Copies of this chain bind each other. A is one copy, B any other.
Amino acid sequence: MTQHTPAGYFRDWTITELADQLRSGETSAVELARAALRAIDQFDAELNAFTAVDRGAAVRAAEKADAELAEGLDRGPLHGIPVAVKDLVEVAGSRTEMGSAHFADHVSTSDADCVRRLRAGGAVLVGRTTTHEFAFGPTGDSAHRGPARNPHDTTRITGGSSAGSGAAVAAGMVPLALGTDTGGSVRVPAALCGVVGFKPAFGAISTDGVFPLAQSLDHVGVLARTPQDCRTGYRVLAGLRSTPSQERGQAASIGWLDPNALHPTDPAITRAARAALDVDGLAVREVGIRDPDLVHRGFQGIQHSEAYANHAERVSEHPELFTDDVLERLRQAARTAGWQHVRALAARDQWRREVQELLSEVDLLAMPTTCVVATELGRRETTVDGVEVDVRAALIGLTKPWNLAGVPAVSVPAGRVGGLPVGLQLVGRPGREDVLLAVAARTGG
């Protein structure tokens, strides 16, 4: 266990502040890129947040960004900002391994759509972050190049699958990191590492060039220090105009969901998340879920069927290249029947209608992000209130419902439990991401 949480340069600054400093000449893109590379050098041997660091490319991109700004070409709020990209997303010229020996030393030949947006927005890509192998796991500790480690306790998981992105932002190595989220893979590491993680509505950011886990659940998302910084990254990635938010979330009505309706949850985490909502002007009332079983039936049938469809040939031809963890999950995934997939799709449709109804009664839903704090690396069982639970189920039990529904969701820090960060999750209406992030900015743990 580390005694001091690693604190790189970007623990101290928001993207908005950095953007101001870049334009006032207080700093330069090259300085920021060097600060990122220095923090990686300093902390990453311990954290393993990065699977590849693109030093030369980062410095060149930063030089270009500085030159452009000097010439008056301003690409917007990410211009000159260092960004890390999950090792599941194609970045031309960069080693992209999907966390798997199947893609050992694979170098991408083209950019994913979302990466193209980052570059067009002037962002400086510094490296690639650890993903759970093929993103198939919320622990982040089963990957070709080893597990990412939680900056708050390096014997523990970061959560995943966007494991390295969580660690990299938490340790101040970068101010913004790209993740993907199929059942919670952005929000879970954000919660466990004490940063903000946001996935917009399904389809809001293109997944072209992102290695699929389960196409109808996959979302691209961002991790950063603040909801405002997530908003900045999101708007660039979604191709939206970068305007200051008019949204203050002042009059938002919030429905609090008892997390135990979805999965047994550590009462201390529930208390911390609920307390983070005790902010002047937020109207919070309890709301209930009619049929939580729809989530379990819908999510697993769809995730299993789509995941195995993406890997069937790899499993039969080269099973030895998978980690045991992911191979076992894939073999289980293969056992879902076609008729069960059909029923899962029907459950999904019914769940979407229920969520739509809930979100017509309140502006946002709120609950904890995870049911447990970061567990020890490699552990697959833990206890909640004395009851033994599966770690994976406890990590995504509260996040996967919103992938199934396709609605935007954010995790914000909600203090600590037993010395480890926990998250408050807020869920909003598709297209109203600004309201969601404005309210998120007002909460505090």
Q: Which A residues are within 8 Å of any B CB, using their own CB?
A: 301, 304-309, 312, 333-344, 346
Residue from A301, A307, A338, A344 having most chain B Cβ neighbours under 10 A: A338
Q: In this complex, which of A304, A305, A334 has the most chain B Cβ atoms within 10 angstroms of its Cβ?
A: A305
Q: Which residues of B contact A343 (CB under 8 A)?
A: 309
Please indicate the chain B residues that have their CB under 8 angstroms from the CB of A340 in the complex. Answer: 309, 338
A309→B312 CA distance, assembly (Å): 23
Q: A216 — nearest CB in chain B belongs to which residue?
A: B342
| A342 cross-chain contacts in B, Cβ below 8 A | 305-306, 308-309, 341
Q: How far is the CA of A337 from the CA of B315 in the complex (A)?
A: 15
Residue in A307, A340, A344 whose Cβ sees the most chain B Cβ within 10 Å: A340
Which listed residue, B309, B339, B346, touches A339 by the CB 8 Å rule?
B309
* A350 → chain B closest CB, angstroms: 14
Query: Can you offer 20 A-B residue contacts whose CB atoms are under 8 A?
Result: A304-B338, A304-B339, A305-B337, A305-B339, A305-B342, A306-B339, A307-B339, A308-B337, A308-B338, A308-B339, A308-B342, A333-B339, A334-B337, A335-B337, A336-B337, A336-B338, A336-B339, A337-B338, A338-B340, A338-B344
Q: How far is the CA of A305 from the CA of B337 in the complex (A)?
A: 8
Bound Cα distance from A262 to B344, whole angstroms: 32
4 nearest A-B pairs in the assembled complex, by CB-CB distance: A305-B338, A336-B338, A338-B341, A308-B339
Residues of B within 8 A of A335 (CB): 337
